[in-house]
Structure 1
Amino acid sequence: MTRPTRTPIGLRLAASARVVSRAFDDALAEAGGSAPIWQILISIKSRQLGNQRQLAEAVGIQGATLTHHLNAMEANGLLTRRRDPANRRVHVVELTEEGERLFHRLREVVMAFDGRLRAELDEGRIEVFEQVLAQLEKNVRSGDDVA
């Protein structure tokens, strides 16, 4: 069995993703948030109002996991949930003033973190990087079709 001369791309990408993800989580935690909280806040803000099913889809988590996060966020005064008068089975989720403040605080952290990631990368390199990521995703998806 021959040894690869380079680290496989998937391993390198996974290792880099872990490092970046941990640093991002740490930055959000310092500001009183987390990645799931940020994803929920940004999803609510981008839609103004959203029901729990739509939020779960947007955040990419199961409904039960979302409910767990929403319960904690509601207990911390970050959001409210109420039944939709047009469909009593649907809960509408809205940010409170405290939720708005946390959103703005975390947005500053996210923007600063993005700036940190982009440091010393010109727009051309960033564009190529985004193209490579898109191609890697496409390669993985097309491999799923074959299997």
Structure 2
Amino acid sequence: MKEKTIDYVLRATWMAVSKMYNEEAGKAGSTMATGFALLSIDPEKGTPSTSLGPKMGMEATSLSRILKSMEEKGLITRRKNPKDGRSVLICLTDFGREMRDYSRRVVLRFDEAVKEAVSEKEMETFIKVANSIMSLINEKKIYTEEIQIKEK
């Protein structure tokens, strides 16, 4: 492709970020997905398992595999939700809190590095463009008509 599409730039950038996070998480015997889950769990009160998936934008089956692995590694425990007996709270262990702090430092270091390399105005523009893309998608304003497949 002579000109890169917006999709290509977004995908290639996210793949690079994802690879970088996985390499960094690997140094602590973890993964980016685990780090993201740790950051999504309230460190004091825990988080209901039913709200964790939507909060992370993950399907239940993927989340359940991650939570099982996190439990096996001693990062989380599952407790009955005192406010709703049908629900389970995902709570961080002491080790989970340590790893959450590590994940937080990794994310903040990435933010610092980007902010050192990119001007405040460029960052504002980037966030504005990203928010516009998300709005177009969320408001279903992109594929308003069927795209026809041409037969050969």
User: Shorter-chain-normalised TM-score: which range?
Assistant: 0.7 to 0.9
Worse-matched range after superposition: 97-106 or 78-87: 78-87
Distance 1:111 1:89 in 2: 36
Deviations, residues 73-102 of structure 1 (Å, cap 9, x unaligned): 111111110222443321111111111111
Secondary structure of 2:117's match? Answer: coil
Q: What code does the residue aligned with 1:110 have?
A: V
Kindly indicate which of the two structures has a greater share of residues assigned to helix: 1
Distance 1:73 1:43 in 2: 13
Worse-matched range after superposition: 98-107 or 134-143: 134-143
Asked if the contact 2:25–2:31 (Cα under 8 Å) also holds between the matched residues in 1, the reply is yes
Distance 1:8 1:66 in 2: 31
The residue number in structure 2 matching 1:28 is 25
Distance 2:82 2:134 in 1: 41
Number of aligned residue pairs = 144
Secondary structure of 2:87's match? Answer: strand
Residue 89, structure 1, aligned to residue 74, structure 2: no
TM-score w.r.t. the length of structure 1 is: 0.83
Secondary structure of 1:89's match? Answer: strand
Unpaired runs of at least 5, structure 2 = 147-152
Distance 1:90 1:19 in 2: 37
The residue number in structure 2 matching 1:116 is 113
Paired-residue identity, %: 24
- Equivalent residues in 2 for 1:107-146, closer than 5 Å: 107-140=104-137, 141-146=140-145
Distance 1:46 1:25 in 2: 22
Asked if the contact 2:79–2:89 (Cα under 8 Å) also holds between the matched residues in 1, the reply is yes
Distance 2:145 2:43 in 1: 36
Q: What code does the residue aligned with 2:131 have?
A: A
The residue number in structure 1 matching 2:38 is 41
Secondary structure of 2:38's match? Answer: helix
Distance 2:58 2:27 in 1: 24
Asked if the contact 1:24–1:113 (Cα under 8 Å) also holds between the matched residues in 2, the reply is no
Question: How far 1:145 sits from its partner (Å)?
Answer: 4.2
